[in-house]
């Protein structure tokens, strides 16, 4: 009994120290994150659009495809990523999955004014491409052509992947790193060098457009808390005031997909941890039980 | 001339005994290595530390197979190769990282147990001193290991800590550059800290562990009442079968059975942390690659260095360094600053009882204040706690000199 009291004292001071250096200290250091509002990707500051008509939107989208591709509707991008970056600083996204990842209200507002909806000072996409009703129609059209189910990585590619690389998944801002073969006699791999040059050209333009090269997101789930990431994506200005990162306008479902992808890449051992953990701990519970029996038998009649 | 039995079969008991004296070794090191009976689970912390060091060594060897000490590849070799591509690499890394943190928790428990029961006095001074050398070596090992993933915190902590060697207004930039091998942390810096972490410090630690065990053999371990035990006489009682009367037990198997049980409980706790709560030991900031152009908003050491960091921080540059130096060496002097001949638990030692609990609480306050940003009320609390630490140690000789002899044991 006396030993349990001693243990209680040790545990108490250990927990106080833990509380002080972890939850408490972090709440002080990351006050801005904790206090930042979170509205579950509702974008309450944006006006609700009028009801859109997909059929009218389909006609209006002709204005979009001079820069954007819509592969699922058979419309290819007018320029490759590097050429597009030379022209705009960043490649305009293919809109096939826009309706599956983005919030419809956000799309309608973004078409009218990308800087207003994106909360940034400048945007490669010009504003006023349609009036409020037209924008609502285009948003409804994009929603109508969106696939019902997209893969986590597709959500990431559309919303984040044109500015952020994920090198642990071989993703670059201009797409997946292709498999290439080096010449067996010399070790020279021209196709690889060509691709790397293109990535480099794109990154230079992108950094010029945004002021810096956006970070690689391979292990961002380990470097930032879940709370930080969702609040940052919902409204980058709330967390990093003045950042060049625009509000992307993802929907709640879209964000969950993106996070799933980032977690799969950034924390690949999670399923294995959960599978192995109980066995290891179970082993030591059994070990302790047997050790306890041994201890009791050895100390019998000693006191 | 030793006698070798020519008829002994190779590697038989007799054969080995002639050559290695295994029976004597077993007796001296285990079955007749006497431990007081009057102890609690805190006496198993030495074994827990040895086991944790074993975990660190083994997991470290596995990590060493894939880690690349190159500033361009180190980060990815840890975070991609080991964490994602090597089978169970994540398990070795999390075990290594968590054990590196937990080992300090156990070291502190072990130290405060020693302080509480007065286990650094009356023949046990060298146990304390060799233990303190181990503490310093573990600190160097932990710090050098923290450099290796080459993340933001590795880089900037390396920058800040090596800067301390400029020694304030002495401004010894040459010394700092000599330690780094460069103007700023770079390849030379990573290479030498890698060497320290995987070769030199582990060798030193292993030698010191042997010394620490050695210092224990003659004075024996202390007990809950600080009672002076005649180990020979008590051992005779045990050997005569008076298990109940004898105040001692053999290390093996009696003490070992309890140690093993405590180890089991400890490993449940440890693996719970490894699988479900490892974040505390792996700072998020270090998952951003080292970037010399971008200083992180908060730079802080791992939790086990925070108390001494906080003794440095609230003061101006030069006095801060003096206070920091004071904090580093003062624990070494404990056996000589404690002027009382009493070897007894702190709660029976009058004013020393309060000294002990004040010191413990003060160090926890320093630890927490060492992490929060130095602003407003935190600076005030940190300054007061740093002064309290210094004053407590200055008072120690006076408090203990005036201490009344403790008579009679419960």
- Can you tell me the ipTM of this complex? 0.94
User: A168 contacts in B (CB within 8 Å)?
Assistant: 76, 79-80, 84
Helix axes A190-210, A81-88, angle to 10 degrees: 20
| Phi/psi at A70 (5° precision) | -135, 80
Looking at the complex, does the CB of residue B178 fall below 8 Å from at least one CB of chain A?
A: no
The residue in chain A having the minimum alpha-carbon distance to the alpha carbon of residue B253 is: A298
Of the residues B371, B376, B410, the best mutation for testing chain A's interface (the one with the most A CB atoms within 10 Å of its CB) is B371
Query: What's the whole-number mean pLDDT along residues A22-30?
Result: 93
User: B284 contacts in A (CB within 8 Å)?
Assistant: 222-225
Looking at the complex, does the CB of residue B284 fall below 8 Å from at least one CB of chain A?
A: yes
Out of B264, B285, B368, the one facing A288 most closely (by C-beta) is B264
Looking at the complex, does the CB of residue A22 fall below 8 Å from at least one CB of chain B?
A: yes
Residue ranges covered by each domain of chain A:
36-268
Q: Is the pLDDT of residue B224 over 60?
A: yes
CB distance A291–B79 less than 8 Å?
no
Q: Are B373 and A22 in contact (CB under 8 A)?
A: no
pLDDT of the residue at A259: 98
pLDDT tens figures, B62-115: 999 999 999 999 999 999 999 999 999 999 999 999 999 999 999 999 999 999
B409 pLDDT band, cuts 50/70/90, is very low
Which of A 270-289 lie inside 8 A of B, CB atoms? 272-274, 276-277, 280-281, 284-285, 287-289
d(CA B135, CA A103) in angstroms, rounded, equals 56
Tokens encoding B140: 């160097």
Out of B254, B274, B367, the one facing A299 most closely (by C-beta) is B254
Looking at the complex, does the CB of residue B172 fall below 8 Å from at least one CB of chain A?
A: no
User: B83 contacts in A (CB within 8 Å)?
Assistant: 268-269
**Nearest-5° Cα angle at A182, A177 to A184:** 160
Query: What's the whole-number mean pLDDT along residues A272-283?
Result: 97
B138 pLDDT band, cuts 50/70/90, is very high
Out of B37, B88, B264, the one facing A291 most closely (by C-beta) is B264
Looking at the complex, does the CB of residue B39 fall below 8 Å from at least one CB of chain A?
A: no
Looking at the complex, does the CB of residue A25 fall below 8 Å from at least one CB of chain B?
A: yes
CB distance A13–B80 less than 8 Å?
no
CB distance B40–A3 less than 8 Å?
yes
The residue in chain A having the minimum alpha-carbon distance to the alpha carbon of residue B261 is: A291
Q: Which residues, 6+ apart, have CB-to-CB distance to A200 below 8 Å?
A: none
| Phi/psi at B34 (5° precision) | -90, 135
CB distance B368–A21 less than 8 Å?
yes
Query: What's the whole-number mean pLDDT along residues B331-359?
Result: 95
Peptide bond into A121 cis (omega under 30): no
DSSP conformation class of B187:
H
pLDDT tens figures, A162-193: 999 999 999 999 999 999 999 999 999 999 99
Which of A 191-250 lie inside 8 A of B, CB atoms? 215, 218-220, 222-225
pLDDT of the residue at A1: 78
Q: How distant is the Cα of A184 from the closest Cα of chain B, in angstroms?
A: 25
Q: Is the pLDDT of residue B19 over 70?
A: yes
pLDDT of the residue at B1: 58
User: B90 contacts in A (CB within 8 Å)?
Assistant: 268-269, 272-273
CB distance A224–B284 less than 8 Å?
yes
User: B264 contacts in A (CB within 8 Å)?
Assistant: 284, 287-289, 291-292
Average pLDDT across chain B, whole number? 95
Q: How distant is the Cα of A285 from the closest Cα of chain B, in angstroms?
A: 7
Looking at the complex, does the CB of residue B261 fall below 8 Å from at least one CB of chain A?
A: yes
Q: How distant is the Cα of A30 from the closest Cα of chain B, in angstroms?
A: 10
- Cα B112 to Cα B24, B227, B347, B358, distances in angstroms: 34, 19, 13, 12
Q: Is the pLDDT of residue B408 over 60?
A: no
Out of B84, B105, B275, the one facing A14 most closely (by C-beta) is B105
CB distance B90–A294 less than 8 Å?
no
Looking at the complex, does the CB of residue B268 fall below 8 Å from at least one CB of chain A?
A: yes
Buried/exposed A109-139: b ≥16 CB within 10 Å, e otherwise: bbbbbbeebbbbeebbbeeebbeebbbbbbb
Out of A22, A219, A295, the one facing B79 most closely (by C-beta) is A219
DSSP alpha helix (H) spans, B246-350 = 256-276, 306-312, 317-330, 334-337
DSSP conformation class of A51:
P
Q: From the CB of residue B205, how many other CB atoms can be counted at a distance below 10 Å?
A: 20
Out of B88, B105, B368, the one facing A25 most closely (by C-beta) is B368
DSSP alpha helix (H) spans, chain A = 2-19, 25-29, 31-35, 54-60, 81-88, 98-101, 104-112, 114-118, 132-145, 152-159, 190-210, 220-223, 226-234, 236-239, 252-266, 270-298
Q: How distant is the Cα of A300 from the closest Cα of chain B, in angstroms?
A: 10
Out of A269, A281, A301, the one facing B90 most closely (by C-beta) is A269
- Say whether A139 sits in a helix, a strand or coil: helix
Query: What's the whole-number mean pLDDT along residues A60-84?
Result: 93
Q: Are A175 and A94 in contact (CB under 8 A)?
A: no
The residue in chain A having the minimum alpha-carbon distance to the alpha carbon of residue B297 is: A29
CATH code 1.20.810.10 for B31-292: yes
- Say whether A70 sits in a helix, a strand or coil: strand
pLDDT of the residue at B407: 66
- Cα B376 to Cα B362, B379, B382, distances in angstroms: 19, 6, 10
CB distance A21–B105 less than 8 Å?
no
CATH class of B300-410: mainly alpha
User: B372 contacts in A (CB within 8 Å)?
Assistant: 24-25, 28-29
CB distance B284–A223 less than 8 Å?
yes
Q: How distant is the Cα of A267 from the closest Cα of chain B, in angstroms?
A: 8
CB distance B368–A6 less than 8 Å?
no
B410 pLDDT band, cuts 50/70/90, is very low
Q: How distant is the Cα of B27 from the closest Cα of chain A, in angstroms?
A: 18
Buried/exposed A171-193: b ≥16 CB within 10 Å, e otherwise: bbbbbebeeeeeeeeeeeeeeee
Residue ranges covered by each domain of chain B:
31-292, 300-410
Strands A171-172 and A175-176: antiparallel
User: A294 contacts in B (CB within 8 Å)?
Assistant: 253, 257, 260-261
d(CA A123, CA B382) in angstroms, rounded, equals 47
Looking at the complex, does the CB of residue B339 fall below 8 Å from at least one CB of chain A?
A: no
């Amino acid at each position: 009994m006396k030993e349990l009291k001693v243990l209680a004292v040790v545990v108490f001071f250990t927990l106080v120290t833990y509380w002080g250096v972890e939850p408490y200290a972090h709440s002080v250091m990351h006050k801005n994150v904790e206090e930042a509002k979170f509205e579950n990707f509702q974008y309450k500051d944006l006006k609700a659009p009028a009801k859109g008509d997909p059929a009218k939107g389909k006609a209006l989208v002709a204005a979009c495809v001079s820069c954007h591709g819509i592969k699922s509707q058979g419309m290819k991008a007018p320029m490759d990523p590097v050429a597009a970056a030379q022209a705009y600083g960043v490649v305009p996204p293919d809109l096939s999955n826009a309706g599956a990842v983005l919030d419809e209200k956000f799309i309608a507002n973004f078409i009218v004014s990308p800087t207003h909806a994106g909360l940034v000072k400048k945007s490669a996409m010009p504003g006023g491409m349609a009036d409020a009703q037209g924008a609502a129609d285009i948003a409804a059209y994009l929603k109508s052509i969106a696939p019902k189910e997209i893969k986590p990585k597709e959500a990431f590619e559309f919303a984040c992947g044109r500015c952020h690389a994920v090198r642990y998944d071989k993703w670059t801002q201009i797409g997946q790193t292709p498999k290439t073969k080096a010449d067996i006699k010399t070790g020279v791999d021209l196709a690889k060098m060509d691709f790397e040059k293109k990535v480099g050209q794109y990154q230079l333009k992108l950094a010029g457009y945004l002021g810096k090269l956006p970070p690689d997101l391979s292990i961002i789930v380990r470097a930032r808390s879940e709370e930080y990431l969702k609040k940052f994506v919902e409204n980058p200005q709330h967390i990093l005031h003045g950042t060049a990162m625009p509000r992307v306008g993802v929907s709640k479902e879209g964000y969950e997909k993106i996070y799933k992808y980032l977690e799969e890449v950034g924390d690949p051992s999670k399923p294995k941890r959960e599978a192995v953990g109980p066995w290891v701990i179970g082993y030591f519970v059994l070990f302790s039980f047997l050790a306890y029996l041994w201890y009791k038998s050895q100390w019998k009649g000693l006191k | 001339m030793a006698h070798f039995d020519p008829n002994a079969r190779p590697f038989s008991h007799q054969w080995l005994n002639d050559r290695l004296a295994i029976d004597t070794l077993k007796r001296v090191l285990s079955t007749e290595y006497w431990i007081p009976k009057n102890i609690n689970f805190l006496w198993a912390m030495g074994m827990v530390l040895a086991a944790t060091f074993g975990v660190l060594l083994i997991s470290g060897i596995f990590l060493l197979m894939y880690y690349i000490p190159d500033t361009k590849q180190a980060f990815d070799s840890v975070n991609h190769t080991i964490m994602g591509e090597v089978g169970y690499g994540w398990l070795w890394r999390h075990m290594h990282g968590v054990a590196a943190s937990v080992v300090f928790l156990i070291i502190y428990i072990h130290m405060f147990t020693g302080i509480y029961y007065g286990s650094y006095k009356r023949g046990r001074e060298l146990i304390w001193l060799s233990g303190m050398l181990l503490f310093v070596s573990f600190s160097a090992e932990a710090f050098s290991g923290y450099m290796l993933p080459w993340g933001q915190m590795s880089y900037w902590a390396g920058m800040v800590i090596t800067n301390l060697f400029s020694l304030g207004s002495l401004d010894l930039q040459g010394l700092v550059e000599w330690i780094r091998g460069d103007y700023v942390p770079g390849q030379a810096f990573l290479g030498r800290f890698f060497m320290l972490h995987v070769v030199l410090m582990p060798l030193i630690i292993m030698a010191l562990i042997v010394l620490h065990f050695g210092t224990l053999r003659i004075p024996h371990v202390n007990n809950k009442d600080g009672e002076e035990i005649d180990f020979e006489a008590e051992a005779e009682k045990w050997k005569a079968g008076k298990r109940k009367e004898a105040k001692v037990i053999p290390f093996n198997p009696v003490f070992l059975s309890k140690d093993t049980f405590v180890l089991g409980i400890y490993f449940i706790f440890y693996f719970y942390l490894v699988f479900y709560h490892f974040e505390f030991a792996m700072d998020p900031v270090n998952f951003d690659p080292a970037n010399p152009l971008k200083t992180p908003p908060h730079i802080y050491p791992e939790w086990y260095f925070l108390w001494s960091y906080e003794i440095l921080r609230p003061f101006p540059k030069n006095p801060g360094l003096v206070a920091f130096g004071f904090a580093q060496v003062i624990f070494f002097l404990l056996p000589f600053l404690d002027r009382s001949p009493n070897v007894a638990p702190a709660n029976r030692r009058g004013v020393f009882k309060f000294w002990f609990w004040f010191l413990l609480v003060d160090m926890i306050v320093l630890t927490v204040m060492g992490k929060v940003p130095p602003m407003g009320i935190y600076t005030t609390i940190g300054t007061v706690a740093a002064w309290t630490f210094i004053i407590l140690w200055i008072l120690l000789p006076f408090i203990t000199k005036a201490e009344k002899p403790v008579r009679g044991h419960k």
